[in-house]
Structure 1
């Protein structure tokens, strides 16, 4: 499959927010409201580098870095990262860009955030494509208390290091690549890792020819919890949003499977515009092998954001 002309039209952008800016990569036309690309936990806009050039030319694509990821500003000292804060970022972007609705392509965490956005603000979304995480993860109650305790200790240390502006450990580029590859459980093909990693590292101020990972370490220590009862209630609120979801066969569910299938069953029954595909591939399927999904994605976009509505 040949890349479209979008591959020659990527531009780095910044959108002002109260604590700094949201960075992004805008592919294609700016004459109409773009589809917004939302990355997974600790990733960044680079996760869509191989998919974006293959999307339809009639609508642009804006892949953003969430706060604390990639080239975007971190949240202020003392702040944590939660699902609702990420949704707040989307509402801020919509206000800044004067959009009445949003179209989303989300991977992993952001696929579940798209699910939440559709349920909470159904009149403000016209299309959702999700990759490999259908809903917010539900943690077992017997392990959640220990997790929250550990996360508090980790958050305090990470926040203090931010305040001190101390540089994290640095590595050669090759060492960074190996750590990144292994850290993702090898879910990104090694020759594709640079798309995300290069946006997540900075040159060391101390050690020439070495780099450190620049994402906000507080990201690793979340306190937000979501129960299955809430996920069920959210699923029942999604009545008509066009929703295309891909599950990668080579990727785990990251929670008790019964939670996932309960929500999948609700969406299939209650939303006539829900489409589901189980595709061979790993968690970063969209980055590793975009050719496996692009035909389905583009047909979905052409149905729900056709050229006639984007002129």
Structure 2
């Protein structure tokens, strides 16, 4: 399945960039990339999926080819959720499916609980529908403070974005993203960088380089309450060598993820399908052929919410 088109959707601060595959007349699927990634995250997976769907992969604001928010306006988790609503309005979609990797799945999960009547199916790729923080009450103010201080520091900095050679850019990227692999790293950098006279510079907004800007950490109680709002059928694909915690320092502790899965199973029952597959956090890129049949069967299933 070849790329159908590049899209540029107008928003008040500029535009949201996206790319589309498949049949314009097919059921719509909005694809959401991970934190600091971009729409190229789905270049390898979507061609392996059923061709009679219409897939749109967007770049979140501040990522890929999408506009950055104006100076003085910080990024918050709700902003990314609202961007899904803006894209749906621009495409005139009243009901659609969501497929999100990592941060994209978390944003998609929040959207699915806030606008449950709009989401038919939700696919989580090594992700979770919310970011849980077991000590949320203890850390909430600390997170908010760090986010504000970081934004102020970036906006006050006069140092321009660094420009490096393509090879150095790739090596830096792989060092920070060891799960990606060289081929997939190059693919993400194609859309995530701009060529200038002396090398490459990253497109992403430097204000989003802290998790506090992108993830809205919530308590277990709020998570359990929110999940009851879901109407969508959920496919949850967990990579066995993937991440278990947004905060990598806590990644060895699987208890939070096990709690999350337990709540999803008990609340959603037959609406929830959990599958574990061998691979790492970027399995949808570096082993797309392993997850494509699972996703394809889920998309083509005739089940609908409430059936």
Alignment RMSD, CA only? 2.0
Residues in 1 aligned to 2:76 and 2:282: alpha-carbon distance in whole angstroms: 22
1:275 corresponds to? 273
**Match status 1:78 vs 2:69:** no
Which one is further off, 266-275 or 34-43? Answer: 266-275
| Alpha-carbon distance between aligned partners in 2 of 1:195 and 1:304, rounded to the nearest angstrom | 34
Measured at CA, do residues 44 and 305 of structure 1 come closer, stay the same or move farther in structure 2, by a change above 3 Å? farther
**After superposition, where does 1:75-114 map in structure 2 within 5 Å?**
75-114=69-108
- Tell me the residue number matched to 1:36: 30
Which among 168, 178, 201 is matched to residue 212 of structure 1?
201
Q: Report the secondary structure of 1:280's partner residue.
A: strand
Distance in 1, matches of 2:3 and 2:203, equals 27
CA gap of 1:250–1:115, structure 2 versus 1, over 3 A, is same
Pair 1:248 & 2:245 matched: no
Q: Deviations over 1:148-192 (max 9, x none)?
A: 44333221122235xx6x6311110000001111111x1111121
More strand by share: 2
Q: TM-score, normalised by structure 1?
A: 0.87
Q: Which ranges in structure 2 are unaligned for 5 or more consecutive residues?
A: none
Give the superposition deviation at 1:262: 1.9
| Stretch of structure 1 that moved more, 292-301 or 88-97 | 88-97
Alignment match, 1:202: 194
8 Å CA contact 2:163, 2:198 repeated in 1: no
SS of the residue corresponding to residue 228 of structure 2 reads helix
Q: Identify the residue that residue 261 of structure 2 maps to in structure 1.
A: 264
**Could you tell me the TM-score, scaled by structure 2's length?**
0.88
Structure 1: gaps spanning 5 or more residues = 1-5, 307-311
Q: Could you tell me how far apart the structure 1 residues matched to 2:110 and 2:142 are?
A: 26
Count of aligned pairs: 292
Contact 2:84 2:111 in 1 (8 A): no
